[in-house]
Amino acid sequence: MTDTDSSTILPEKEQYFRELKQTPALSIPALGLFLLGLAPIAFVFVFLPHYRCDISVQENEYQATTTRKGMEWLLTPLFVYQNYHLIHHLYPTTPFYNYMKIWHLKYDELTAHNPAIQTTFGLTPVNRERTLAETESPTAQAA
């Protein structure tokens, strides 16, 4: 390689890196689109299955997260099987597309432990132990 070759290549690389430094890494519209895409994912995968996080896994692993029952034909593809989120916590290495199969195969075993079950569009599980205890108390009935 001669001196003339290296002198012509070096300014081109310097120009490239100068332009790269001046280009913003993430524009505001791209950030907005990213957040719009992330919001529904966070809502379905994080918020809905864990809503009312008042029971820890140490207290009751079957009540710490939920299974959403009803309209599975709609919710299962819409939630990418996260309507059976309890299965994810009990059997974390199971592929998501097997959650419904495991729910049906182990139904008797799972329901014996009183898992937290939400209705199709409900937020609070209908059979959560603390919720039942609060609604059955005399002060709650008087109100």
**CA 98, chain centre distance (Å):** 17
Q: Which amino acid is at 139?
A: T
Percent of the chain with pLDDT over 70: 71
Helical spans, DSSP H, in 23-84: 28-42, 48-50, 72-78
Taking only the tens place, the pLDDT of each residue in 23-66 is 555 567 777 777 788 888 888 878 888 777 678 888 889 988 88
Q: How confident is the model at residue 108, as a pLDDT?
A: 95
| pLDDT tier, 137 (very low <50, low <70, confident <90, very high otherwise) | very low
Residue 118, helix vs strand vs coil: strand
Residue 128, helix vs strand vs coil: coil
Cβ-contact 103, 87 below 8 angstroms: yes
For residue 111, give the H/E element and its range. Answer: helix 107-112
As a whole number of angstroms, the distance between CA 134 and CA 122 comes to: 18
As a whole number of angstroms, the distance between CA 83 and CA 118 comes to: 9
Check pLDDT > 80 for residue 86.
yes
CB count within 10 Å of CB 71 equals 13
Verdict on whether the full-model pTM lies above 0.75: no
CB count within 10 Å of CB 129 equals 15
